Structure 1
Amino acid sequence: MIFDTYETVALACLVLLVGYFLVKRIRFLNYYNIPEPVVGGFLVAIILTVVHQIWGLSFSFDTDLQRTMMLVFFSSIGLSANFARLVKGGKPLVIFLFAAAGLIALQNTVGIFGSILLGLDPAYGLIAGSVTLTGGHGTGAAWAEDLTARFGIQGAMELAMACATFGLVLGGIIGGPVASFLLKRLHKDEVPEDENVDDVEEAFEKPVYRRKINTRSVIETITMMSLCLFVGQHLDMWTKGTALQLPTFVWCLFTGVIIRNSLSLLFKFKVADEAIDVLGTVGLSIFLAIALMSLKLWELAGLALPIFVILIVQVAVMAVYAVFVTYRAMGKDYDAIVLSAGHCGFGLGATPTAVANMQAVTSHYGPSHKAFLIVPMVGAFFIDLLNASLLKVFVEVAAFFH
């Protein structure tokens, strides 16, 4: 059964509404910040899998729309990358970026060599590496398409969604224990006093100026996103088959970075961040809903156990890395502990998980202004730039062992 563009949009929106309903009413889903498109999409994927197994029916959706929504999302990431904020973050932010880069390299190394040891194609190791763990659902789904084309692997999209969801849950689970372990190593005088807990809300850094969403800001944002898609697709065509070849979404992301920072630096133009956030989130939500509706879960049967082993190792690596690298690199103080808990969140899951981890610590021990400045900034857009750049290298490593 084939669904056209209008039917695909209608079903995707229905999936999102189902996801919102379930996340609001099921405590586990709400507590671990499981995205609504993932909840609704997986539910529909399971239903369609049952229908396929019983009646042999298959369903296909408008892939052009899915791809466009993916490119819209990554364009929004690029348009959000304000390098002026990087300067404001100073030296600690740069150090944290290096720590995040080290984890990305380690995740991909563990993934590639773990998959080789377990008799899998090394491309599967990338999916169980930074593609889905540091990258999350959006990056996972985007790279799954390119890895399938490059390596000819099966079930990449299904696997990416499963790995990203696993990481999201475990990232929320290990953040607290890691912070507790590190807090025991601090001297009592280094931990903030309890009377500072009321100041926790002050820890959220808010921009001094944010343009409100209106007709003009939406049109400006759509114009910039359209340019990102136009330029990104042409750059993809011009570099295909060369040493500069990258997935299309990476070119759209880079184009967004150039547009945003050129407008800010050369013309003092204030980009409407809220409009970018809203339109980017809509793009990601529809993209994930369609991607998850299209999952063929029965293709995962042979990969489940080996990939699960790799993911368990990745969780252990994240915890050890947070304790022995992130914590030490960030200064071995209370702020470093909160940053380590946050790193567990977006190193395995997503920025909302990182923020939830940090809130769990600061609600008991007091605020960490440094952590709430650095982690959302890095997790929101800089990590995607970093991940895309490093993945280019590790794809070649995987191709060598393919």
Structure 2
Amino acid sequence: MELHFNLVQSAALALVLLALGEWARNRLSFLRRFCFPAPVIGGFLFALLVLLLRQTHIAEIDFDTSLQSPAMVAFFTTIGLAGSLASIKKGGKLLLVYLVACWTLAIMQNLIGIGMAKVMGINPVLGVMAGAVSLEGGHGAAAAFGPTAESMGVQGATTVAIASATFGLVAGSLLGGMTASFLVARHNVSIPERRGVRGAMATAGAIARNMATGRGPDLSITVPEDKPESVSTTKSKPGLDYSSLLTVAVVIGLVMVFGMALGNWISSLTGFALPDYVGAMIIAVVFRNLNDKFGWIRIDDETVSLVSQFTLGFFLTLAMMSLKIWELASLAGPLVVILVVELLFILSFAAFVVFRMLGRNYDAATMVAGFIGHGLGATPNALANMDAFNAKFGIRSERAFLIVPLAGAVLIDLVALPWIVWCLNWVG
């Protein structure tokens, strides 16, 4: 039996699966522990059902995923709108050092992936899919770049990227805090004083939990225990309203139009394939920083974050539920070898290079936990790793919780995405 879901049916199914994924994550502790995104939970489980129906010759199901592309472009536009270069000043020189480490990792992940793919006798584009696309980029980039690779004739690219991203998600969660603890013991790192930190630790835990569950950072201010009780414990913030949502929607729409036009123009001029979402992100970064300087309009960051969360969830669920998992069978062996080599590299790089670059202290160890978290998985994994590591010693690393989210969620893409695009054109 052949079943075809049209555009509306496919979109509705994606929303239902996204909601089911959120429901499952809120109720199963191991899903929260490893920071599994809701789209991965709902979409991947449905993809397994599709595989079961196909392999048992009961039914073959296909979907109309036309809405995946515009939702994907909208998501990367919101990433660009969050890319204020002024934020670099907040982290100082240490943020620049951490960014250099992140950019180096992205470059090396692709080079390792390409080299290992050639050694294993598979298409080197699949090495890129198992490199920075899925590891630095996570499931979002995997679902975004997979179709681009498949348009180059590389069958199974999306499935390889999603599988690699899932491997990285679990490995990054398991090994981040473990590696940081090893470094503290190995180098006899001194732990800062514990006085007056319980309130800060509660805030750190709330931030990590909210980021892991997709609710965004908790912006409430927790008063440390040694502060007077008369001090206000919360800071009121304006709620989401129609005006702010409309403003952000208009900006996103216009940036998408000009960004896609930029991508098409560059492609026609140079013959270099530039995906629509990369052009949109470039325009968004330029607009955001010009708007910061000249103050043309007010862009509410919370509204941008909400739109980003929804568009990511929607397009990623569409991508996950339409996965053709059976295409992975012939690539399983080479893929495992590539991912093991990638894993050994990031652990060695983090322990022997990044830790030393960042100062070989408690802040550096905390950032190593975050570095492994988002270097193999995603920013929520990084925050969860750092929260668990800091909770072990009862001390929150303020620098780490400022620098890692800025670098891992936004600023890394300034180099990683162009590098991925260049590699795809180079080997594809």
> Quick check: TM above 0.5?
yes
Distance 1:93 1:43, change over 3 A: same
Provide TM-score, normalisation by structure 1: 0.94
Partner of 2:177: 176
Secondary structure at 1:60 match in 2: strand
Which of 111, 126, 129 is 1:127 aligned to? Answer: 129
**Which position in structure 2 is the counterpart of 1:67?**
69
State the Cα deviation string for residues 216-259 of structure 1 (Å, max 9, x = none). 01001101110121112211221224435421111111111122
- Is the 1:335–1:368 contact (alpha carbons within 8 Å) kept by the matching residues of 2? yes
Paired residue total: 397
Structure 2 CA distance for partners of 1:354 and 1:284, relative to 1, 3 Å = same
For structure 2, the residue ranges without an aligned partner over 5 or more in a row are 208-216, 221-234
The DSSP-based 3-state class of the residue aligned with 1:212 is coil
1 CA distance for matches of 2:179 and 2:290?
40
In structure 2, the partner of 1:192 is: 192
Tell me how far apart the structure 2 counterparts of residues 300 and 221 of structure 1 sit (CA, whole Å).
Answer: 39
**Displacement after TM superposition at 1:347 (Å):** 0.2
Quote the Cα distance in structure 2 between the aligned partners of 1:200 and 1:250: 37
The range that moved more, 54-63 or 73-82, is: 54-63
- The gaps in structure 1 that reach 5 residues or longer are none
Q: CA deviation at 1:144?
A: 1.0
Tell me which moved more, 12-21 or 199-208: 199-208
Whole-angstrom CA distance in 2 between matches of 1:378 and 1:351? 9
RMSD of Structure 2 on Structure 1 (CA):
1.9
Give, as a single letter, the amino acid of the residue that structure 1 aligns with 2:131.
G
Q: TM-score, normalised by structure 2?
A: 0.88
Show the counterpart of 1:91.
93
Return the alpha-carbon distance in structure 2 between the equivalents of residues 227 and 168 of structure 1. Answer: 34
Q: Quote the Cα distance in structure 2 between the aligned partners of 1:131 and 1:144.
A: 9
CA distance in 2, matches of 1:211, 1:358: 29
Q: Could you tell me which amino acid in structure 2 is paired with residue 263 of structure 1?
A: N
Deviations 1:188-223 (A, max 9, x none): 6x2123445413245669599965311001001101
Per the TM alignment, residue 187 of structure 1 is displaced from its structure 2 partner at its CA by: 3.6
Q: Distance between the aligned counterparts of 1:299 and 1:384, measured in 2? A: 29
| Aligned 8 A contact 1:210 1:273 in 2 | no
Indicate how the Cα distance of structure 1 residues 56 and 233 shifts in structure 2: closer, same or farther if over 3 A, else same: farther
**Where does residue 316 of structure 2 map in the other structure?**
288
Cα distance, 1:47 vs structure 2: 0.5
Contact 2:263 / 2:278 at 8 angstroms: preserved in 1?
Answer: no
Aligned partner letter, 1:166: F
| Match of residue 395 from structure 1 | 424
Taking the TM superposition and a 5 Å limit, the aligned residue runs for 1:2-401 are: 2-55=4-57, 57-150=59-152, 152-187=153-188, 190-195=190-195, 197-198=197-198, 199-201=200-202, 212-243=239-270, 245-267=273-295, 269-365=297-393, 366-399=395-428
Alpha-carbon distance in structure 1 between the residues aligned to 2:416 and 2:334: 24
How far residue 2 of structure 1 moved from its aligned partner, in angstroms, is 2.4
Cα distance, 1:84 vs. partner?
A: 1.4
Distance 1:211 1:305, change over 3 A: farther
Does the CA-based 8 Å contact 1:212-1:272 persist in structure 2? Answer: no
| Larger fraction in helix | 1
- In structure 1, give the amino acid aligned to 2:401: F
What percentage of residue pairs aligned between the two structures are identical? 37
- Aligned partners of 2:237, 2:287: CA distance in 1, in Å? 18
The offset of 1:85, in angstroms, is 1.0
Deviations 1:110-148 (A, max 9, x none): 101111111111001001100000001111111111112
Q: Give the C-alpha shift of residue 56 in structure 1.
A: 5.6
Q: Distance in 2 between matches of 1:28 and 1:219?
A: 38
Bigger shift: residues 233-242 or 368-377? 233-242
Structure 1, 204-213 or 338-347: larger mean CA deviation: 204-213
1:224–1:259 Cα contact (<8 Å) kept: no
Q: 1:257 to 1:211 in 2, by over 3 A?
A: farther
